[in-house]
Structure 1
Amino acid sequence: MCSVYIEEVTKALTHKNIIHKYIQFPNTPTARQAISQRFFTKYHVPGIIGCIDCSHFKIFAPPKAEEHWYYCRKHYHSLYVQMVCDDEYRIINVNAKFGGANHDSFIWENSDVNNYMQTLHQNGETVWLLGDSGYPQQPWLMTPILDAAPNSLESNYNTKHMQARVVIENTFGRLKNDGDV
């Protein structure tokens, strides 16, 4: 009986009318500038319009023929949901199309938000998303610098990056009710 309710709620939350009304990526330069300014004021990182990550959401076992797409590294079946949020923990993009066996970078490469950010970059906008090391460094997606020397400019960048990117971690935590965040 519980699975029936989960299915109904999931369908309701992913219905196009709900998504388009409540989850909106900033689609004007003015909206992107407002988010970027707030990120800069709070974290001293310019040009950021959102933070991105993926998280596993447990599901019941799918049919055997599809099970391999959903069995994740944490040893359960899941949807691997990619979300982007702004500095105020508002979810501005969701991609819940992939099973738990996928990787952040695969979902990113196959996402509408990647294509949109690439288009913004090609049109001369200097805005970025912040992602963790599971994502590829791209001109529109900033990730940590691996093996940064202590007290270097790269290390300072990583600290600022981490401080700003915690908003997506907290957003997932709030959504999953993982305790106080």
Structure 2
Amino acid sequence: MRFRASLMAAAVSAVAGLTGCAVNPQPLPTAQGAFTEMVAPPETPPPLTIQDLSINPGYYSWIIDGDDVVFRTEENQDDAVLPEVSVKGASLRIDVGSSVVPAEFIVVIFDELNSTGLPSEPLGEEFNCLADTGPCQLRSTDPFVSANVNLPASTKIVVVHLSYASEDSEDAIRLLSGSWAVRIGED
């Protein structure tokens, strides 16, 4: 099924409202809720696998070799196709190919689709994987940051949003962000 701009726009708008915004510098929360020094983000959007399937980003806004780069899978997002993954049981495994814990690790699930295969609700159900509790449990083991997400059986689409803090040339903090999405297949 096709993945349309409205899904990506809804997911990015709902989940990534801070993309590219400058904020006051402050320590970043870790998965355990403590604070730590800011760590340099990956140089490019990190590779991401879901259930051992390598997933390309659907969107990112990143500083690469000193240039602001905004990427969308397709110029017309109506042409983008979501990869499909199978989930045995309720646990979805997400591996981020970087040992840097992101400033945001959000998983959004959609369980109702309309006749065109797009989510019926624009916002979905959001899980903060940096929180200590909830259906998304995060762990960091070099060279990966991984999450196990307990999904409701009715889940049809999963969007993963990562943001990393980066100092810009004016000593402000900028969020570099990317979003990946998959369709959950029938098992």
TM-score (norm. length: structure 2) = 0.27
More strand by share: 2
Higher helix share: 1
Higher normalized contact order (CA 8 Å, seq sep 6+, divided by chain length) = 2
- Greater Cα radius of gyration, structure 1 or 2: 1
